Structure 1
Amino acid sequence: MTFDAGRSTTEPEARMGVAEQRARMLAGRWYDDLTPELVAAREAAVHRTDAYNASFGRPAAEREALLAELLGRVGEGVHFEPVFRCEFGSGIEIGNGFYANFDCVMVDGGGITIGDDVLFGPRVGIYTTNHALDPAQRAAGACLAERVVVEDGVWIGGGATLNPGVRIGRGSVIGSGSVVTRSIPPGCLAAGVPARVLRPITADDRIDEGWREA
């Protein structure tokens, strides 16, 4: 694909359907973010997230059905507080028992995989896409995407950002306000800008079993 200042010059690629363009994204190839098909797909995601956000307080089954229409795969017991936004929705796969607090944003061009029993604080953002550094190519829509993976049992603190290509290992915790630019291994507490591993999470972090009786 070649780019000029403003638009792609490759007409056959501009006529690719959304599925073909999504395959290009997931393969880690440069793509034109400004094709009419992708613009329309993002607009459709806005309308679907509007419908989901407006359903807050309605029966869980009804809300989960709306998520099933929006996301690529969704397990049981998945809940987003309002307001949830995503780029396409079809690139997001979520397991069971997921909870996201207010104002979650997922830019899912490169794909987002979330495991079971994952917790997001308020204003967590996952961004799978990078724009070109060259200003003319950036204006023409040149983008490159990489999958983000959040494994089972992870807690992402409020205001944290996950950048393209990172993996958060099973059971790890990301401190609030962190910017994750590199993958975090399992069972760790990580925080900072950029985020770094502070220490492992151990049995000493378990609280007294009587906490439920407090």
Structure 2
Amino acid sequence: MMTEKEKMLAGEIYDCGDPELLTRWHYAKQLQLQYNNTDSRDREKLFAILKDLLGTYGKDVWISAPFFVDYGENIHIGNQVEINMNCVFLDCNRITIGDHSGIGPGTHIYTVAHPVEPSKRLPENSQFWKSFTAPVTIGSNVWIGGSSVILPGVIIGDNVTIGAGSVVTKSIPSNSVAVGNPCRVIRMV
């Protein structure tokens, strides 16, 4: 039988009130609070916190506080990535960000969603809605403009620019510029 964490990572309906998941969620909140309250010049302490918070991260990563996550451990960041302030990464499934990418301020990346039909999302003896997930992958050399929202299951190819304020509901091919709500390719580069 699958654990709730295994169901979550497999994209099946899961109970986010599961004790194992809640334990990690609370731990991530402690680490997030420490990170967001650490002097931005204390790179050694910041990287020590990221080591415990994130799944993996490469060289020369810069994450401006405040930074918000669900679990943290499902976030994998490449080399030379900059994530600006006020970003929210709901990493109930894997979030992968390739090398040399930048994430603008206020960007939200969601790997979690809920059933559309109310009767299917309502909890049974829990305060949490039923949820399911899909990973988000962002390629290398990508720039995500500020206040963008990336939804579950989206793959953004390499060498892509996403315009500020875009809502990315579907995958975006490599070597393109895409903007809008819903986000769509406006030209190739």
TM over 0.5: yes
Q: Which among 133, 142, 145 is matched to residue 145 of structure 1?
A: 133
Partner residue, 1:161:
149
Aligned residues: 184
Post-superposition shift, 1:39? 2.5
- Residues 186-195 or 60-69, more deviating: 60-69
Q: Which has the greater radius of gyration?
A: 1
What pairs with 1:165-204 in structure 2 (closer than 5 Å)?
165-201=153-189
Deviation at 1:89, TM superposition (A): 0.4
1:136-175 CA distance string (max 9 Å, x none) = 4323131110000001110000000000000111010000
Name whichever structure is richer in helix by fraction: 1
Q: TM-score, normalised by structure 2?
A: 0.92
CA offsets per residue over residues 1-41 of structure 1, 9 Å max, x none?
xxxxxxxxxxxx8xx7xxx4332222121111222332332
1:9-24 matched pairs, under 5 angstroms: 20-24=3-7
Tell me the equivalent position of 1:108: 91
Aligned CA RMSD, in angstroms, stands at 1.5
User: How far did 1:121 drift?
Assistant: 0.9
Q: C-alpha displacement at 1:64, in angstroms?
A: 1.2
Q: CA deviation at 1:100?
A: 1.0
Aligned identity (percent) is: 39
Cα distance in 2 between the residues matched to 1:170 and 1:66? 29
- Please list every run of at least 4 consecutive aligned residues from structure 1 whose deviation after the TM superposition is greater than 3 angstroms: none
- Give the unaligned 5+ runs of structure 1: 1-12, 202-214
